[in-house]
Structure 1
Amino acid sequence: MASAGELNVLSLNEDEIYEIVSMWSVEALKEYLRRRDLSTVGKKEMLVAKVYAAALANVPVSKSATERAEEISRTYQSLLVIGDIRIPDPFVVDSWTGEPKSIELWPPITIYDISEFLKEHDVAISNANLRTRLLRDYKEQKAYSYFASNWVFEVKHFNVPNSSIILLRANVTPSQRLNDPPHQAWIASSEDGKILRAYCTCFAGLGQACNHVAAILFKVEYGWRTGLSQPTSTSKECVWRAPKQSKAILTPKRIQDMAWKSPSMANIDSSKVINPEHRAKYQPEVDMSKGQSLEEFIDVLKIIQDDAVFLKEREEGHFLPETNQSLPPPLAVVAKKYSTEEDFIENLPSYDKDEIKDIEKATRGQARNSVWFEQREGSLTASCFHDIHTKMESSKKTEVDFNPLISRLLYVSPPSDLPALKYGRDMEPVAATEFEKMMHSEGHRDLKVTECGLFTSANFSFLRASPDRIIDDACCGKGTVEIKCPISAAHTVPNSDSLDYLVRCGDRDILKENHKYLTQIIGQMAITDCQYCDFFVYSKFGFFIRELDGMK
């Protein structure tokens, strides 16, 4: 009687294969199936059918357990090699930084970085429907719900020595068996948020794109996008607490006592429960006031009225002036020498070219440089020109309160840590690099894009401007770059649909003529004596650029 080892599929037709297989014993049939890791359940007729189907499909003999383990080990070791750098095995590293301290060290991972990584490593995602699939499946149904359900434990941080690679590690609760030990996962990324490698101990972990890895990425993205990775001075104690790594204790509840909701990344605050506890248990005679603290009130006030004098007085002193004896004194210091405004205006200092150049050099770094804050005090800067103009025009028609504007001009505040503003600051150097690459690719070979400081008008020393970058181009001359990285367009291509300061004109978008950004750009061009300005709005999904010239 034929045995499993005598079947030669390549030399037989389908009828011959079935005839031979039908003659095998039950044990021979099971042995054939076992060698291929196939089910051996069923009577002989069922086993014959399984073997026949496997033979037609040419199912190969499975590797031994030892061979599989060796292959898994080789694949895992390959994940530890990134370019010419071999990172340490994250499961061996013992000098991790845990939450809450690690939160401030997380890389700026965006949904764009996550989508690019998943697109590269998940073969089930096609380029054509990536955005739709990502939003519907990964974010809504699976991975994002893991994060939203607190199944991601603390995310630890580690800097790979002598490299720009960051390692993140966390445990994630299994989705099917909550009481089982959590899956362990790690992620390697660059300092700018690009995801390089990932691994999880779950069944799909070697593929790098499992839901547990994605859930960790969503947690890091959420922390960075909402400002938790760079908390304000009033909220450092209010970061989230990492879920405790303990077995879940599930107790039965009435349906009316359960909180039903569907986590949504696109609308963080919209996934509210249908019948929240405060509504279900509301009693008219009970005082429902929340008793918000003064600090919470101040945080809200910053959002709705960031130029309030009250806030300026609180923030004054965050940046202490550092007197530089080699520089002309700030106008705010000069003004103190005179008893009246008229005397000060009549004796306004004028600066020569060398002094103007010295001030610009000493203030490079802008908001990262205390001298920049010092020199701006008492000056009218290009970013305020539009507000000054509109106030003056309004005062011709009606009575206007100038105090808020005057306070804003006199008291220079440190950079705010509101998420939208922090996002813009963090993305500016990335945008500047992409801008320079784009210009070089378009044929501007002899072009340099450099950081700059505070420029002073040669004719009116109280007029100042701080462009984001200065362009030196052999073919186009000297220009400025005004960079905008709006968080409202962080997950899309910047255009007139997503940004209120752009408007559609014919077949293209343009900057609105009455917007403060245009006034700011005109002022910058005049003060820096530049011929043009490139207005560059950037996100990781694309950019908007328009060259503005001839408006000085």
Structure 2
Amino acid sequence: MLSPPHTKSVPVLCKYAQSLESHVKQRYIEKISVIDIDPATLPSEQFDPHCLPPVEQSDLFSYLVLQTSYYTNEQFKNYKSLEAYNHVVSGFVAGVQGKLIAGKNVVVAKVRHSQRMNDPLVDIWLICGTDGAVISAHCLGCKAGLAESCSHVASVLFYIECWTRLHGKLACTQVKCTWILPTYVKEVPYARVEDIDFTSAKKLKEKLDKKIDSFTSHETVNTTQEKSAHERNLTSQDKDKTTSTVSQNITPTAQDKTTSTVPQNITPTAQDKTTSTVPQNITPTAQDKVTVPQNNTPTAQEIKELYSKLNKCKVKVVALSLIQPYADEFVMSSRDIPVVSELFDPDNLDLQYHELLPKCLEVNIDLSESQINTIEKDTRTQAKGPGFFRHRAGRIGASVSGAVYHSNLAQPPQSILKSICYPHLYKVNTKATRHGCDQEEAAIKAYETYMNGKHVNFQIKKCGVFISKEHPYLHATPDFLVSCDCCGIGCGEVKCPISVPDCDFDQYVKNKSAFLEKVDGVFKLKKTHNYYHQVQQQLFVLSERKYCDFVVCVWDKNRNAHIVSNRIKPDTEHSNMVLFKLQAFWRICILPEMLGRWYTRKCDVPVKVPDSNAMCFCRGQMGIDDVSCSNPECPYGQFHRTCLGIDGVSLRKTWYCPHCSRLPELRQAGRKSKKKESGPSPVSQAALLCNTICLCKAKPALGEKLLECHNVECKQGRYFHLSCLGMKRLPNNAKTTWQCKSCKQRITAPKTSKGKLAKPLFLCPFFYVYFPSKVQCGGPVHIIPIPHGGSPARHKMPTTYTFGLKDVFFSSCLRG
């Protein structure tokens, strides 16, 4: 939560803000204090529709679900607002514009009421950081807007998120292609049912996402023509809708009545008047007569058989949840088992970090053996079941064990914390992960076939979440459990990498990022890879298992499986080394978030204390082994290691305290530092002197990433956008000798008298040298500069030099 300004004057408020109640008005002032101006008072001419913050899906979740409410001191958990994309795809969002004020992105927009189409549009404003993090928001048109997370605010966030994804795929000269976003609908006209599109908002959102994801720069070469065609299409559709519009106050004509009435010579009966009219002269035949049984009530045995068949369906029928004995299957047996997320207490939101740590050290989440077995049984469907994420939340899983071990306790990565504390929201959804999940079941079957011929009574079965009894903050979920008469019981982990070229594992292990290595002709899992941490934690949690089969499976073009299996046994030394770090991470990093939302609550500026010599959260005196925060504006300055619980922990050169690391401008500090932003490149500055550049004949803009053609006589624009050339990155010779395709074709080597290309008599690393058939004093010599590995046709125009007497020795050496 933002703290009220103490020294700054109150900014000028709009009429809406002035009419608010005192405590709500104070909250409104707190939110706008970060920019010292009320966004609702700014004229629309000062905003730019292309100056929007880079809001991503994770920012949506963080604000609408995880953010702490000012009024309730609890998380918003506004899952309903996550469906606000229906406002976007329905065209209810208009006038989304942004402006940079005091280093923050301020966005204003208008949203139509979903249930009151004739009411004026609702005004919305957002304040975001330059990294896309939502700082605050307000809706000026609905009571729910006071809660700061209404559907109108969420719809604007969804619009900006779509704009961000589309903007990231466009070149700087293709901004006009943002017309593929849903346009604002001014009115919803009356229309025939057959002309109305009944596609659900969810389906429209999926189509929009696919269109954005499949959108490439090649599709935007003829942007202007496509947009005009799109507008013409919209115009024609509007005309069609206008012709089919039916007003309520229009009475059908006599001619219309004739088309919908029954012929006059057919008299309907009293019974037929209530339904459809049947002519009297049509007599139903014997085939048309349907025999209706007098007693059509099913017997108890038939109902029982129906329920039994429904219970065998892959998807559970919800009607069975009210019928015994099937109702018990809809209730998890583990519903009464305590979970880590229940440790949250709203009173902890007022505690500082050093006040939360003692509570974290007292937490006890021990489980009995029967409770662990019940959880494992309830989670065998894994992500498809409701209990899978519930029991995993707040516990360190085997899949993140390696990342946790290599993290810094004094400054934990926010992404790892959120994935552990809120696994149902922060899921890994990359192309490689989706490929692995899609192929996992087929890989397990291929592995089972592969092992059946080598082992006696080999069996595989699925499993759920296993929680360690001795260390209940750890859990593991193997892909399967395995047993055989010859080797005993074990578990298995399957990986289906997408980056094995032509199923050649020998070529794959040469890659530095490969998780396999070849030792004495055998492929083995690298002990330094995170997958090794994952396997060892599975063996540590499932202590009765003797081994873990690490299976790597890839398929060739003919769908033949290629399997590499590495049997890994428990490594006690590794587990003992990792265990202390995992326990410390759980106590001082995860539990503060679970108990008091320390990392997801808004950062409060602490009240200044009168004692200027005090330090740390405890406001004590300086000690011997104190640490200093790298933020020069840190309100605490220095800290005692004991107060932070990091005795003996090495700190990075740049370290931020638990308070400052939550600030939006410093929250990325835990990640690898990005390259320092520099000014416009010399190529970009030189391009500004041209009227048009590139094949698209666009006007140059400051800061564009351009590729320069090093032919000074280039007639294609001299400076090119990578997207227009179909390139993803600059070539190696971009700063030296690169030339466009047109200039390459014009640059050729000298020709002989017969019109054939002359062959170079000498090749050095820097140039080709061409001599005429007879070398004479005063004769020409052609030299074409080239770099290493180049060719004369790719570089500057040939330069003719006069061959003089002083070059005779040089000539003899070249010919010699």
State TM-score, norm by structure 2: 0.28
Bigger relative contact order (CA 8 A; separation at least 6): 1
> Which has the higher Rg, Structure 1 or Structure 2?
2
State TM-score, norm by structure 1: 0.40
